[in-house]
Amino acid sequence: MTDRIRLHYLMHIELADAEALAEKILIEQSVETPLDVLSDDIKEKILGRIELLEELSDRAGYCRVVFSFSAANVGESFNQLLNLCFGNVSMYPGVRLLDIELPESVLSHFQGPRFGIQGVRQALGVYQRPLLATALKPKGESDAYFADLAYAFASGGGDIIKDDQNLIANFSAFQSRTTACQQALQRAADDSASRCLYFPYIASKYEELERHFAWLKELGLKGVLLSPLIMGLDHARGLAQQYDLIYMAHPAFSGSFSIQASHGMSAELLYGYLYRLAGVDISVFPNAGGRFSFSQLETAAISQRLRAPLTGIAAALPCPAGGMTYADLPDMGLTYGADSVFLLGGSLLQHNADSKKSTADFKAKILEQFDEELVAQEKSVKAVSSCEIGDSAAQAFLEYLPAVDFDWQDRPAILYKKDQTLPFTGVKRIELIGKQDEACCFDLRYFEIEAGGYSSLERHQHSHVIIGARGRGKVLVAEKNYYLSAHDVIYIKPNTAHQIHNHEDKPLGFYCIVDRNRDQAESI
């Protein structure tokens, strides 16, 4: 890829008018000047290009446009990047920023999370399972009340306490409350060898930030809670880099960007990618099904973006929150996996009058799904990749899977798709790599379609890479049909309808490689 930034937008407009709007955006986001006064040189070097413009096949009246801009439009600054992506165009109705792709020349200016998943785990000495968090509530209670709550949560086995965003921003109140809570955690550590971290929220005015941060260091705290959209993304990034604290981000003030169907920016981009560029180690966002209205697809995508490989940038922890209850934990475990932080706030208080007991129940619920390994592991903080993988080094993988006539020992064939409502026939699937949390960001599966069988006609956001293994079949990709024989490779790009037929009289076998974190297929 050349040294260009690619920006993806959704435009709520008919295709006939889409090109004119796309050109307006191009100008707005780069030269901001009528084209007729531009030199050819500026047009060539600064003005962006339209790389793709297409109607959405599944959503009438919407188009998707991809621009590329020279990296010179951004320089070294996050603020300039935000301006390029969503500066003036933020004032265009019906335009939503979906994604940003940065070349390494730009990405290299970002340090990303200081701690990342591994760093946070090292600080806690907890591996293999999601981390338990709570928030100190309600506002207005006494220091002693919060200290008791912190003590109970730590004694019950909790990992992280965020002192919520309604902590009063007055320095002496801040000192007294944080001291009380931290001393309570110290007592809990002495009494029960707990190792719970306390992250107070800093919301003081600009002039007092320094002494608030300095106070956290003086108190020996390991982390802080900030609201990047209130403080400014780059401001919060800079402070987090400066003070060597685990940085938990709160989504306050961000909803106008993320919850509009055809404006703002995608939730995964904001809470997953931009927060990670802003150095966030733990990104708190509203889980689907809670007090807020994010969809499961959105929250899964946020989590994927926090943990997906990104050159030189550590993976961060998703923290789905916002009215979660004990009953939600099993689903959250399935959706988010081990490398997550689960936060119970109000429901922890409601669960049992004894918060230590509430926390112990919280932890027991987590341990029903996950094994805990408490031995500290020496790993680089800047892991190359995590995706949705757990901590793979610890697990007993099958390293060798010898094939006997397209059969792999310890890898049983299973029915194609759990969802039996999809139309298909005569397809079996073998999960070769992925289900044991191998340390890669893709899954390798082998499929076999019996004579006359076919897979479902489907479409999804993730791509497929297919390698023919045995037999011969036909692969429908959008409007085209391809033959698939052994060692033929087919790449099916995102959002492209496809179906595989075995029209011959022998089994059709093929490998299919997909991203580990992917969306659900949608049947057509």
Residues 441 and 314: their CA atoms lie apart, in Å, by 14
Q: Which is nearer to a copy of itself, 10 or 132 (CB)?
A: 10
Q: Which is nearer to a copy of itself, 367 or 486 (CB)?
A: 486
Please report the DSSP string for 108-155 in residue order.
TT----SSHHHHHHHHHT-BSSPEEEEEE--TT--HHHHHHHHHHHHH
Least CB distance from residue 190 to a copy of itself, whole Å? Answer: 29
Distant-in-sequence, close-in-space partners of 340: CB < 8 Å, separation ≥ 6: 130, 131, 303, 317, 318, 319, 320, 332
Residues 327 and 161: their CA atoms lie apart, in Å, by 21
Q: Which is nearer to a copy of itself, 108 or 260 (CB)?
A: 260
472-481 exposure pattern, b = at least 16 Cβ within 10 A, e = fewer: ebbbbbeeee
Least CB distance from residue 346 to a copy of itself, whole Å? Answer: 5
Q: Which is nearer to a copy of itself, 254 or 502 (CB)?
A: 254
Residues 439 and 441: their CA atoms lie apart, in Å, by 7
Least CB distance from residue 13 to a copy of itself, whole Å? Answer: 13
Q: Which is nearer to a copy of itself, 54 or 368 (CB)?
A: 54
Distant-in-sequence, close-in-space partners of 195: CB < 8 Å, separation ≥ 6: 124, 125, 126, 159, 189
Least CB distance from residue 359 to a copy of itself, whole Å? Answer: 15
Distances in Å between the alpha carbon of 221 and those of 163, 168, 175, 314? Answer: 12, 18, 12, 22
Residues 136 and 153: their CA atoms lie apart, in Å, by 10
Least CB distance from residue 12 to a copy of itself, whole Å? Answer: 13
Least CB distance from residue 367 to a copy of itself, whole Å? Answer: 25
Q: Which is nearer to a copy of itself, 158 or 434 (CB)?
A: 434
Least CB distance from residue 399 to a copy of itself, whole Å? Answer: 6
Q: Which is nearer to a copy of itself, 194 or 248 (CB)?
A: 248
**Tokens linked to 155:** 């004694």
Least CB distance from residue 70 to a copy of itself, whole Å? Answer: 9
* Contact present, 468 and 487 (Cβ < 8 Å): yes
CA dihedral 520, 292, 273, 211 (to 10 degrees): -160
Q: Which is nearer to a copy of itself, 189 or 349 (CB)?
A: 349
Burial class (CB in 10 A: 0-12, 13-18, 19+), 461: middle
